[in-house]
Amino acid sequence: MRVSRRLLLKGAVAAGAAAVLPERARARERVEPEAGAVGMLYDSTRCVGCGGCAAACKESNGQPWDDPRELSSTTRSVVKTRRLGRPAADGAVTALVKRQCMHCVDPSCVSVCVLGALHKEGRGKRDMGGERRGTGIVLYDKDLCLGCRYCQIACAFAIPRFEWREAFPLISKCELCRHRADPAQEGPRAVANPACAQVCPAGALQYGWRADLLVEARRRQAAEPGRYQERIFGEKEGGGTQVLYLAAAGVSFADLGFPELPEGSYAHASETVSHAPYLNGLAPIGLYAAAAYLVRRNRKEQEGEPSHEEEKP
């Protein structure tokens, strides 16, 4: 296949970025959730597919209602119906799943963003006792964005969407309704206030501290053991996420369209390897190849927005 000038340019940018990454990135430590990490718990078994969350998301972000079926530059949240490979424990042949940014504990999108347009709020901020104190929300600063689309390529969940129709396109993704935070309140609503969670009529969406949401998820599993599968998606996958998922017994997370991920984050693995001193000379060559491969793999699905994720037949 012919490698276009655009592909080569992208590879060159990636290689250049690797060459100037700071010394502090070496010997990269594993990132743990912030003590002040907020998040959401989505319970697929409670969701009734009303679409209220998607409508509230659009309103909250000033985007037009267009009955979305997929994430796009004007849709930051969508609820999908997935056909299952086999019936769930309760006999259901479909399952619902809400998709949005997962607010990863150690996000690949942040790792590859050269100018820090994507950043994890409060990363590195510590209180007097040395404890991490950030909210962990993955925020986007459009004034710093180059429009290079590396975040799209790096995200294992295929979340960031590109404004293809704009003259100077930027990306779009959920920022956990940070703009709706109410500092007058105590608790998690003082730092963010997701419109989607506020309107859910079925109790399928809950916003709060990530640690509390994990406790709540385990409580539900223990209270109704036949109802849920054992895993809580996002507890550990890909280094953990701040949006967590419960699924019905007999429904796998692959059924819901999630990738199988290792427990460690890709950001940790790639930064550790690419910044190892003995590999510094090889990093640009490797990144040329990796960037070209990833751009080719993702170009087809991402250029044809909104067909980023295919539903099962």
User: CA neighbours within 13 Å on the CB side: how many for 76?
Assistant: 23
SS3 content of the chain, % helix, strand, coil (to 5): 35, 15, 55
Give the integer Cα–Cα distance in Å for 163 and 38. Answer: 28
Q: Tell me: does residue 261 bind ligand SF4 (CB under 6 A).
A: no
Interface segment toward ligand SF4; rule CB under 6 A; list 15-23, 27-35, 76-84, 121-129: 76-84
User: Residue 45 is which amino acid?
Assistant: T
The least CB distance from residue 130 to ligand SF4, in Å, is 25
Q: Tell me: does residue 155 bind ligand SF4 (CB under 6 A).
A: yes
Q: Tell me: does residue 72 bind ligand SF4 (CB under 6 A).
A: no
Give the integer Cα–Cα distance in Å for 218 and 212. Answer: 10
The least CB distance from residue 229 to ligand SF4, in Å, is 18
Give the integer Cα–Cα distance in Å for 274 and 288. Answer: 13
Q: Tell me: does residue 265 bind ligand SF4 (CB under 6 A).
A: no
Q: Tell me: does residue 292 bind ligand SF4 (CB under 6 A).
A: no
> Bridge partners of 154?
none
At residue 243, φ and ψ (nearest 5 deg) are: -105, 125
Name the residue among 1, 3, 5, 11 with its Cα closest to residue 291.
Answer: 11
Token reading at 96? 């619902």
Q: Tell me: does residue 256 bind ligand SF4 (CB under 6 A).
A: no
Restricting to residues 168-227, which ones interact with ligand SF4 according to CB under 6 A?
A: 173-174, 176-177, 194-196, 199-200, 202, 204-205
Restricting to residues 83-102, which ones interact with ligand SF4 according to CB under 6 A?
A: 98, 100-102
Sign of the CA dihedral with 284 first, then 285, 288, and 291 last: negative
| Per-residue contact string for residues 10-49; x = within reach of ligand SF4 by CB under 6 A | -------------------------------------xxx
Would you tell me which residues interact with ligand SF4 (CB under 6 A)? 47-53, 56-57, 60-61, 76-77, 79, 98, 100-104, 107-109, 138, 155, 157, 159-160, 173-174, 176-177, 194-196, 199-200, 202, 204-205
